[in-house]
Amino acid sequence: MLYSIVTHTLQFISVHMADNEVKRMEITEMNRGFLQILILALLEQSRYGYSMVKDIEARGYNVEENTLYPLLRRLEKNGWIAGRWELGEDRPRKFYEITAEGRETKARLLAVWNIQNRILEEIQKENAHVR
Amino acid sequence: MSDKLEKYLEEIGHYLSDDGPGREEILSEIRSHILEKVDDAGGRGDEAVLEKVIAEYGSARRVAERYQEGQEIIAPSYRRHLFRYTALLFAAHFIFALLGVVFHDSFTVFPVLFVPKMGIFDLFMYLPMAFLADLGFVALILYFVTRSKKDVKLPWPKFSVDLDQVAAQAKPALWSEPAGYIIGTLAMLALTVAAVVIYSRYGTIFLFSRHGTDFRPFITPEAGRYLSLILIGAWGFGTLATAARIFIRSPWINVISNVVSLAVVRLFLRVPLDEVLIYPINEPLRAIAKNGLLALFLFIALMVTIDLIKNLVMLGKRKLAAERSGRPRP
């Protein structure tokens, strides 16, 4: 009986916690995969964070700064990009560039991306016929 | 102007889990980004522009959290284990604590368990801390399992009722045969009336008789009055509560009954029960009587407390289940 009470109490708390977490994560989840490929593609040229934000904005898309930098850090830890600090103009900037391993990853991710796009386009076409 | 920026970065640093160079590098990159954005907006030296750029970057805590995504302290797949294992460990802890009180001894199962020598009231102070310690111990184990990055398949003991089952069983559990409550009400009423009649005649309900006649009180008149009135009150309330269950389908009746029962036990424990007997008894027998009564009341109080917690948790779970299914709660 005691075991049952403690379990009920903890389950009650956990359901509340899980609901809130799902709401918080669902928006960022959508962008995660796309941003990874986008950054790997952009870093065929050496760039620093702010220049990437501006570049992406110029292309009509937005990336949150506080999403970009943690992502750059993760990609660097994975060995897919390499970063180096440069003292340009009046402040230091960290420049990133894709590595050989990053290029292989990018190729794999783009292949998946193309398949996903193809599937979505096919479904869209089918839906258009249904309407 | 950089005071605000430095304060912001310091706050981010406070929330970051990275240490040393890693932390400094993260903060340097954010500093560089914010200053460049301020310059880009033509706001170098302008406090308002800096504040706006910082606000757009996000709250310090949120920014730091982004760097820690994917580095959970406990993997989501083990979250349910945390709760179930804690419940199991606490149940074992609880049993040892009870044994500790009964045998007035300490128990140690290093490093999981330490139950000191303690009395009844110490036990009530001890149990919440024991629960937190158990939760912490299980969390620590699961933290190491998570950090190992291995697919460890932990055992999954299944004893309890899940939320959906509770929702499905809610109605039958709330309501049983009305006939049972009617009989119960009549029995409680008969008991209460008999107690009132005996009390009005003898001034106590604690009587004994050697030959079935000549009833005499066996506890002192003052304690007899006090304890009799408490019992009559409790039985009277029990009669009303049982009668209410015939007409009202509410788990709140159980909760109120539990609270009243605990109050009654508390009132009983205020009386030194080994000193109220009229007839002299030898010391070993007195000690047995005292400890026996104490153990009995402890047992009753624990059972009622467990039932009270169960009723409160069930109320909460039913409310949650009703909200999730869009149904009004019972």
Write the ipTM.
Answer: 0.73
Read off the pLDDT band of B163 (50, 70, 90): very low
- Specify the pLDDT at position B159: 56
Q: Do B26 and A12 count as a contact with CB atoms less than 8 A apart?
A: no
Q: Do A94 and B28 count as a contact with CB atoms less than 8 A apart?
A: yes
A18 occurs within a structural domain: no
- The CA–CA distances, whole Å, from A108 to A81, A102, A105, B326 equal 15, 10, 5, 45
Is B159 part of the contact surface with chain A (CB cutoff 8 Å)? yes
- Residue B126 to residue B231: CA distance in whole angstroms: 30
Assess whether pLDDT exceeds 60 at residue A125.
yes
B60 and B11 Cβ atoms separated by less than 8 Å: yes
pTM for this entry: 0.51
Assess whether pLDDT exceeds 50 at residue B199.
yes
A43 or B170, which is more confident: A43
Instruction: Residue window 13-42, chain B: list those with CB within 8 Å of chain A.
Output: 25-26, 28-30, 32-33, 35-37, 40
Lookup: tokens for B147: 């950090």
Helix (H, G, I), strand (E, B) or coil at B327: coil
Assess whether pLDDT exceeds 80 at residue B202.
yes
Per the structure, how many domains does chain A have?
A: 1
A21-35, B261-275, B292-306: least confident range: A21-35
A8 occurs within a structural domain: no
CATH number of the domain to which A107 belongs: 1.10.10.10
Q: Which residue range forms the structural domain that includes residue A104?
A: 32-130
Range of A29-43, B52-66, B255-269 with top mean pLDDT: B52-66
Assess whether pLDDT exceeds 80 at residue A81.
yes
A91 occurs within a structural domain: yes
- Specify the pLDDT at position A41: 95
Long-range contact list for B138-141, CB < 8 A, 24+ apart? B138/B81, B138/B82, B138/B85, B138/B86, B138/B89, B139/B73, B139/B74, B139/B82, B141/B85
Size of interface A-B (CB pairs under 8 A): 104
Q: pLDDT by residue (tens digit) across B308-317?
A: 777 777 777 7
Read off the pLDDT band of B284 (50, 70, 90): confident
Please give the mean pLDDT across all residues of chain A: 83
Range of A37-46, B33-42, B91-100, B204-213 with top mean pLDDT: A37-46
- Specify the pLDDT at position A20: 52
Q: What are the residue boundaries of the structural domains of chain B, listed by start?
A: 2-67, 76-159, 169-325
